[in-house]
Amino acid sequence: DTGVSQDPRHKITKRGQNVTFRCDPISEHNRLYWYRQTLGQGPEFLTYFQNEAQLEKSRLLSDRFSAERPKGSFSTLEIQRTEQGDSAMYLCASSRRQETQYFGPGTRLLVL
Amino acid sequence: SQQGEEDPQALSIQEGENATMNCSYKTSINNLQWYRQNSGRGLVHLILIRSNEREKHSGRLRVTLDTSKKSSSLLITASRAADTASYFCATDALGYGQNFVFGPGTRLSVLP
């Protein structure tokens, strides 16, 4: 069990640029989640995959956000045309069933 | 509307004292979980309590669940400076889909 990993850990970008984050879940976990967390707040759900299928998306996930999980393994979250309001910690979690979610260390995004 | 809310928002105690945090939620749940987050890090799972359970223990942690009041409490006994962190409750609210809904957290400071 190597845990959930995320890459990069930090990203600084200029407004209008595209960014992509990667999440590698725990290998036997078929469920993968993306959350966004701003300072002083709890994580907010963005989207959820079961294997390669994206089964749920939050209304927070605007058209500029897209997530994929090809082959049901790692996942990517892309933000197009970044805005300053996108600055946040992006957290990935995985689970085997709808129970304990194991979180990665997060990717901290700063949009200048 | 937010499913879970922790109370208090911030708590400061001396090392060795007990810390109690509360969580209230609004709809029926399958289970409730508590997570800890050190500053700038990912979330660490502490304990899961199912809707048919009333109390669970794990080391210095004690969690209670009162489904009639839609509330839970997390007690940390004999606190240590290393317990300084933010604590979140998360519910898998029935009807909210597969994701967890987090509250804004309680920021605990344990002073040496």
* Cβ neighbours, 10 Å, residue A92: 29
Distance from CA of B36 to the nearest CA of A (A): 11
Q: Rounded to 5 degrees, what angle do the CA atoms A15, A4, B93 make?
A: 85
CA distance B100 to chain A (A): 7
CA dist., res. B109 & res. A69, Å (int)? 38
Among A41, A94, A96, A97, most B C-beta atoms within 10 A, so best to mutate, is A41
Q: Which of B41, B103, B105 sits opposite A105 (nearest CB)?
A: B41
Query: CA-CA distance, B103 to A32, in Å (whole number)?
Result: 20
Are residues B43 and A33, on separate chains, in Cβ contact within 8 Å? no
CA distances from A71 to A26, A102, B87, B99 (A): 14, 20, 34, 21
pLDDT the model gives residue B1: 42
Q: Is the pLDDT of residue A89 over 70?
A: yes
CA distances from A96 to A7, A50, A76, A99 (A): 22, 10, 19, 7
End-to-end CA distance of chain B: 38
Angle (CA) A35 B63 B85, round 5°:
50
Tokens at residue B3, please? 């499913």
Categorize the per-residue pLDDT at B3 as very low, low, confident or very high, splitting at 50, 70 and 90: low
| Residue B101: per-residue pLDDT | 84
A35-46 pLDDT per residue, tens: 999 988 999 999
CB atoms within 10 A of CB A32: 28
Pairwise CB contact (< 8 Å): A42 & B30: no
pLDDT of residue A98: 66
Instruction: Read off the amino acid at residue B19.
Output: A
Q: Mean pLDDT across chain A, nearest whole number? A: 92
| Nearest residue of A to residue B93, measured between CA atoms | A98
Helix, strand, or coil (residue B54): coil
CB contact under 8 A, A104 and B42: yes
Chain B interface test: which of A45, A56, A60 (most B C-beta within 10 Å): A45
Q: Can you tell me the distance from the alpha carbon of B65 to that of B87, in angstroms, rounded to the nearest whole number?
A: 16
Say yes or no to pLDDT of B95 above 70.
no
Query: Which class for B81: exposed (0-12), middle (13-18), buried (19 or more C-beta within 10 A)?
Result: exposed
B:45-104 residues touching chain A, CB 8 A cutoff: 45, 48, 88, 90, 92, 97-104
Distance CA B103, CA B112 (A): 28
Structure confidence by residue, pLDDT tens digits, B17-54: 999 999 999 888 888 999 999 988 889 999 999 999 99
Mean pLDDT computed over A76-91: 96
Please write the tens of the pLDDT for every residue from B44-91.
Answer: 999 999 999 999 999 999 999 999 999 999 999 999 999 999 999 998
φ, ψ of residue A13 in degrees (nearest 5):
-140, 165
